[in-house]
Amino acid sequence: MNNQDKQYLNYDNIQNILKNVKEKITISNLEEEYKMKINQKRKIIGLAAAVILLFTGSFFTVDAVSNGEITKSIKEKIKSSIEEQINREVEVEDVNVQKDENGMEIVTYKLKDGGMLVLKGQD
């Protein structure tokens, strides 16, 4: 081998080493960025959990001081809103009755407010 061939081989080896180092640096940078994002998400979730924990603790403390009046009023409001939804009257636009392969009757009510109610039962 002459001197020029040795220099060429050295140049190729150096280029391969540089390429490998650049790839490892890139991979390392991407891994660090990924770890940073995961840590940031963990911090946000931890902060949200702490806020929720403090809120519920303060709610129960205030509720205990008021002898459960806050809880009772919330339960009554929820119950009344559910009863309103159950007991409200709706106008039916279209009724469709079909039978499936098992002989079950499927009744579909298309409501005027855009909703739909499907009932399935036997004859």
Residue 18's pLDDT is 87
Do 102 and 93 form a contact (C-beta atoms < 8 A)? no
Residue 33's pLDDT is 92
Residue 123's pLDDT is 54
Residue 3's pLDDT is 60
Cβ-based neighbours of 90, under 8 Å, separated by 6 or more: 111, 112, 113, 115
Residue 46's pLDDT is 94
Residue 7's pLDDT is 61
Which residue positions in the chain have pLDDT lower than 50? Answer: none
Residue 40's pLDDT is 93
- pTM exceeding 0.85: no
Residue 114 three-state SS: coil
